[in-house]
Chains A and B, each alone.
Chain A
Amino acid sequence: MSTRRHTIALLALAVGMFGFAFTLVPMYRTFCEWTGLNGRAALRAGAAPAAVPEEREVTVQFLAQVANGLPWEFRPVEAQMRVRLGAIATTRFYVRNRARIAVTGQAVPSIAPSTAATHLTKLECFCFSQQRLNAGAAREMPVRFYVDKDLPRQVRTLTLSYTLFQVPDAVRGEAGS
């Protein structure tokens, strides 16, 4: 009976669309990695530069933010640097735990402009893993990276920003992996 068949088909469509809402999540993630939109691409270690460094130089700015609730001091050691395209550069971020207990944090990177994000490759970064600091401990965390030579011509300044979030002890080891 076609009433029944139609009903079942339409119910399946509705259930399918509910599932589709959840597939939007990985789809969005893929889209972002592809376009460099929300800094996700910057969370993985990349390969070393293949070509010889170029003459073209760009300015890379560093920003550091601490989310509410994380008792840490966090700042870039240098505000900005000039780098040659294709050359590996290293900068450091200073972090200190003000609390009298050990606290774990996770840094989330973001790059502006987003068109440059896929061209900034990190070889080493504290954002690849969670950071745990003992009470009162301080540390300088290095970031080794390079900007590849396919960077769009009009980009001459790019900004690498990190926001540090507290990882609650309950979920430590799950998030950010």
Chain B
Amino acid sequence: MSVGRADCAALLISLLLAFPDTGAAVSLDMREGATDMSKRILALHHMSLTVCVVVGIVVFGAMFYSMWAHRRSRRPEPAHFHENTRLEFIWTLVPALILVGMAIPATATLIELEDNSDPDLTVLVTGSQWKWHYQYVEAGFGYYSRSATPRQQIENAAAKGEHYLLEVDRPLVLPTDKKVRILTTSQDVIHSWWVPDFAVKQDAVPGFINEAWTRVAKPGVYRGQCAELCGKDHAFMAIVVEVRPAAEFDRWLARERQRLAAASQEAVAARNKQWTIEELIPQGQQVFIEHCATCHERDGKGQQGRYPALSGSRIVNGRIEDHLNRVMNGKAGTEMQAWAPQLSDVELAAVLTYERNSWSNHTGDVIQPKVVYEAR
């Protein structure tokens, strides 16, 4: 027996098992992607893989041949040579030349990859625990994009959908054939915005902005994930990008801005209305489960030592003003983020009312959206 057989056997088994029960082919290669850059990187990957495989065949071939041909039962008397300057010189020089050959295309690709000039469109991507915010810089509007995979699927209480963990409520929308400059930054810890099909992976660092770019030819839906460990729900920070033909993108942009205007009119109407506790609590519960329960838990007890309990909390049972301040502006240096930019007046009023009248909290307070508006 030789070592080689074990490797081959293991490889074979893993390859065999790599085809799932359904019989559908599983790709073993890097994703080809949808941009020129992703295809060039794939070519680079193939080039370096090929070099490695060829060198591997030569080196391992020599090893396996030696293990077989020079085993003791065939060669009881070993040779005694132990140096050969010329040979050692050759196998220092040849790899160096191969490396230079690999470095040239890699350098060329890298220079293009880092050329962020002349964008048609700039999108600011802001990571925060554990969602993304997209801001169209020229158009001056933006929105949050959150994972849309239902909790039941994650907890195995429901069958997992096709795009399990790779689905969001509002995808980033981009036009085809435009050079999009992607700026990344973060509200809290370091995240990394990665869409494999664009070959864009850029760290989002709090306080600083990084840049990358992409140009997508084909309309479609492209999915990715946060690539840098960013705390508890790192695995649940999905990215979805919808690429639409340029004209359609412009129409979408116009429509979104109209919707934004309409929404602000609705908000005016909503905050001028007097809300009852019966109206606010169900909506507040929904907001709480969607946004707050990941840390503070559905039972309001938090997670000991990490996330404070809201049930019986001093702030929740204290002055409305302080409670509102904490929810709207967050707490520096903790995972408690500022919710003022993320939630509407009604949502904030509802979740505060819910928190102040749930679990062991019985303040009886009803917070009106108008109060929230005035605190903004």
Contact = CB atoms under 8 A, between A and B. Distances in A.
User: Do A and B touch each other in the complex, judged by CB within 8 A?
Assistant: yes
Contact of A69 (B126, B138, B330): B330
A70 B122 contact: no
Contacts of A63: 124, 135, 137, 183, 209
B124 A98 contact: no
Given A71-B329, A108-B207, A155-B117, A66 B338 contact: yes
A23 B196 CA distance: 38
Interface residues of B, number: 38
A113 B135 CA distance: 18
Interface residues of A, number: 32
Contacts of A80: 137-138
A65 B187 contact: yes
Nearest to A157: B119
B206 A159 contact: no
B140 interface: yes
Contacts of B195: none
Contact of B116 (A71, A79, A113, A161): A113
A138 to B, nearest CB: 12
Interface in A131-170: 154-157, 159, 161, 163, 165-166, 168
A71 B328 contact: yes
Interface in A37-66: 38-39, 61, 63, 65-66
Interface string B259-284: 00000000000000000000000000
A98 B334 contact: no
Contacts, number: 97
A79 B139 CA distance: 9
Interface string B313-340: 0000000010001001111111011101
Contact of A68 (B115, B187, B375): B187
Contacts of A38: 208
Contacts of B375: 98
A157 B119 CA distance: 8
A166 B140 contact: no
B147 interface: no
Interface string B122-159: 10101000000001011010000000000000000000
Contacts of B340: 98
B332 A166 contact: yes
A156 B336 CA distance: 38
Contact of B329 (A39, A65, A98): A98
A112 to B, nearest CB: 4
A163 B185 contact: yes
A110 B332 contact: no
Given A73-B376, A113-B116, A157-B117, A99 B325 contact: yes
A12 interface: no
Contacts of B183: 63, 112, 159, 161
Q: Which 6 A-B pairs have the closest CB atoms?
A: A69-B332, A68-B330, A71-B329, A154-B117, A110-B208, A112-B211
